Structure formats: C-alpha cells, structure tokens
Amino acid sequence: MSIDVVILAAGKGTRMRSDLPKVLHPIGGVPMLGRVIESAKQLGRDRELEITVVIGHGAESVREQFAGSGVQFVEQTEQLGTGHAVAQAIPNFRRGATVLVLYGDVPLVKTGTLQSLLSASDKGPALLSVEMANPAGYGRIVRDDAGRVQAIVEEKDADADTLAIREVNTGILAAPADLLSEWLPELSNDNAQGEYYLTDVIARSVSEDIAVTGVRASDPLEVAGVNSRAQQAQLERALQHNRALALMNAGVTLQDPARIDVRGSLECGTDVSIDINCVFEGEVVLGQDVQIGPNCLLKNCRLADGTRVEANSIIEDAEVGQACTIGPFARLRPGTHLADGAKVGNFVETKKAQIGRGSKVNHLSYVGDAIVGDGVNIGAGTITCNYDGVNKSTTEIGDGAFIGSNTALVAPVKVGAGATVGAGSTITREVSTDELAVARGKQRNISGWQRPTKKS
C-alpha cells in the first residue's frame, strides 16, 4: 500500500498573536510541523510514502524551513475550509494510494495510532475520534443505533441533541485517494461557516454505502491541537512530563521531574543524576555516574563517565572526558574538549580549547583558541588574548606547565612543557621548556612613605 500524506498548515493561527506562522512554533524544541512530518515519515519504513504540506499563511517561511525535508508543498492562497485545503493536494495523489490527512498544529500524534487508522481505511474512510468531557468547538461524530459512523456535524451546524455527543472528530482521517479525488471537488460550502468541510466526505461515503470506520484515540493529548500559547504550553508540559518519566524508567535520578526540559535528545548511562532546572538541547549524551547540578544548560555535548557539572554551568558543542569537574558557573563554549580528569572551575569561559588530562583552570579565566597539555595548572584570572580585532590566534601550553595567576597570554604564543609563568605576567614571547618567565613591572619599595592625611 502506498500512502499520500497531506498535512494541513495553511491556517493563520490568529490566537497565537505571533509573526511566526503557527506550525513553526516549537514543542520540545522542534517546530510543530517538523514533529508531524517525522511521525508521518515513520509510517514509510515499510511502504511507499509521499508527503504534501498545504501552506498558506507564512508560506515562504514554512517552505524555507522545510526545504530539505523531502516533502512537497502546495499553496492554498485562500483558506476556504479543510476540504478545500486537502483538494489542493489532489494533483499529488497517486492512483490506488491511501490518503492520510494530518494537521501541522496537532504535534503529538503517534505513529502507532496512525498505523491503526491506515489499517482501517483500505476500503473506505477511517476517521480518528476521541471522547472529550467538554466537546465544545469540535465536530461531533454521529453514529447510528448499530454504532456505525453516519456523519460528522460541525458545532456551528449542530442541533441540541448532536451538541450533547461527546465523541468528537480529531480531524485526522485516512481514505482511498481515488474516492477523495472524486468527492472533494464536489463538496458544497452551504453550511453555517460557508466553508468546504473535509468532514462532509463522511456523509458522502455513507450515502454511497461505503462504510466509515471510527478509530478512537485513547489519549486526548495525542490529538490535541494548538491554537494558543496556553495550549502550546500545555502540550509542552505533557511532552516534558513523558520524557521525564522515560528517563526515570531508564534509571536516571531526577531531583524533580517537573523541573527538567529536554528539547532534543538526552541519552544517559546508569546512575546519572540531574538536579532541578536543567535544560538539554540538541543531542546530549551523558555517561555512567554523571552528575548535573541545578540550573545547567547543556547543548550538543558528550560527557563521559563520572563527570560532575556543578550548579549554573553552560556547556555547548563540547566533548568532556571521564571524571572531569565543571563549574559552578562555568561556561564551555563550542569546540571545548576536556580530557579525562580535567577541571574547569567557577567563572571560567573556554572556547575552542583543548584541556589535557588532569589539567586545571579553576577560577575566573578565559581560555580560547588554546591547546593545553596534561597536568597543567592555569592560575586564577588567566586570559588568553586570542583576538586582535581581526585575527584569532592560538595559545599552546605544554604538559606540566604552571601559569601564575592573572597572566595574560598574548597569542600566538607558546609556553613549553614544565615551564612556569610568574603571576601577573603579560607573555608575548615563547617560553621554552622548563624556563621561568616573569613579565611584570619590578616591585619598588619606598621607605618612609607618608600617606596623605585629611585636613580636619
């Protein structure tokens, strides 16, 4: 069976009150439309699958953002209803295919649910419904006495009896392409909203004696749409809650599962512990026994076994070895590479820096564009002066070197293995192996010096 997925994403999303098209707003760090495309793609593992996205409002930005994702776009210049929207994709329908209609603003739909819908739709339409305690605003599913689906009636077109029905249309539907190609162009807009309703294909199918299957989704969140920032936040919390549960089930300690945000993927070894208010973005991999203190941001990084990150640290695009200590208040910027046992302490910033085994940069330093050997001690307040306003230059520090506090290393510059730099030096020339370099004003002591006194 081949599948033609149609994702509706042309609506304006007025209630978001945003300049960004609604479907580009993120859930769990991924634009809603991106999530829907991913769930759809999973269905294509064992069959032919093509995806068409119907765009309208903000078409250019949506197209741009998903240009490389292997989907096709069709533009719906006027939003005349969901039936009209799907009809725009008819030229992309393949003969004998099954069409699956999804919504760019229903981001948490699961592949398994779509799978059951598809299995139910080889002869006629199958729709995904859900029971709602408060069905206001949704199309109601009308069934006959035998429980067979008869029609979907939109709220604005419904009488009192129909309004009392709590089984509602999620909007998600699967149907043979050949039937939709015939029926959609024949829809009428003679209804309360003057729109071409996709939902009218259900009554049409029944009138042609083609049975409609109703598949019930068990979890309302899975089929919940986002129309406002509040609904977006609600789904974000639901997603984060599920992720936290999954992490705990995998053996991770979360100090508070309500205070972690994973906006990408987080892979953890055994006995990882994560304190409150940590945010994980992109791909983060934590080894065994890694401990993350409170209020940390980790983005696209790997931390090997036994490493500890203390409170309020930020790590981005970095590789960290085993048993390292980072923070509190450290910032590891892109290109930082810590070898096993390295220490980067409070108020230290690193960028494009390799720090060797067991080396320490413990306090108030900036180490950028630097290659630091093993067993090096970099004293408090040391700065690599790596930028002259135009060029970035490299600082190299050999194994076992000792850099005294408050040193400025003016790159390009090298400090040899075992060398020592006196505190407060400004190093502009190479220091050779095992040498001592002192580059600072000589101390003068003036005896008998009188401090000024205040006149009374």
| Region near ligand UD1 per CB under 6 A, out of 33-41, 98-106, 308-316, 389-397 | 98-106
| Residue 363 falls in the annotated catalytic set | yes
Amino acid 152 reads: I
CA gap 182, 178 in Å, rounded = 6
The one among 39, 199, 350, 377 contacting ligand UD1 by CB under 6 A: 199
User: Measured in Å, how far apart are the chain's first and last C-alpha atoms?
Assistant: 99
**Minimum CB distance to ligand UD1 smaller for 79 or for 273:** 79
Q: Does 11 bind ligand UD1 (CB under 6 A)?
A: yes
| Smallest separation, CB 160 to ligand UD1 (Å) | 18
Min dist CB 137 to ligand UD1, Å, is: 7
Pick between residue 220 and residue 334 the one whose CB is nearest to ligand UD1: 220
On whether the CB atoms of residues 215 and 129 are closer than 8 A, the answer is yes
> Is 225 in contact with 243 (CB distance < 8 Å)?
no
Of 192-200, 236-244, 296-304, 382-390, the segment contacting ligand UD1 by CB under 6 A is 192-200
Q: Which of 349, 327, 323 is nearest to 336 (CA)?
A: 349
Query: Is 124 an interacting residue with respect to ligand UD1 (CB under 6 A)?
Result: no
Considering beta carbons, is residue 170 or 420 the nearer one to ligand UD1? 170
Cβ-defined contacts of 23-26 (< 8 Å, 24+): 23/62, 23/104, 23/105, 24/58, 24/61, 24/62, 24/65, 25/226, 25/232, 26/263
Task: Give the range of 4-12, 44-52, 262-270, 304-312 binding ligand UD1 by CB under 6 A.
Answer: 4-12
Q: Does the protein bind ligand UD1 through residue 365 (CB under 6 A)?
A: no
Site string for ligand UD1, 66-95 (x = CB under 6 A): ----------x--xxxx-xx----------
Write down the catalytic residue from 25, 57, 337, 363: 363
- The reply on whether position 386 binds ligand UD1 by CB under 6 A is no
Closest approach of ligand UD1 to the CB of residue 176, in Å = 19
User: Minimum CB separation from ligand UD1 for residue 8, in Å?
Assistant: 4
Contact pick of 93, 183, 197, 280 for ligand UD1 (by CB under 6 A): 197
Measured from the CB of residue 56, what is the shortest distance to ligand UD1 in angstroms?
6
Contact 352, 368 (CB under 8 A): yes
- Give the SS3 label for residue 371: strand
The answer to whether 116 and 105 have CB atoms below 8 angstroms apart is no
Contact between 10 and ligand UD1 per CB under 6 A: yes
- Using the rule CB under 6 A, which residue among 21, 107, 125, 171 binds ligand UD1? 171
Residue 134 corresponds to which amino acid? N
Q: What is the CA radius of gyration of the chain?
A: 31
Count the Cβ atoms, other than its own, within 10 Å of residue 247.
21
Q: How far is the CB of 13 from ligand UD1 (least distance, A)?
A: 7
- Cα–Cα distance measured from residue 199 to residue 187, given in angstroms and rounded to the nearest whole number: 10
Burial class (CB in 10 A: 0-12, 13-18, 19+), 312: middle
- Give me the active site residues, please: 363
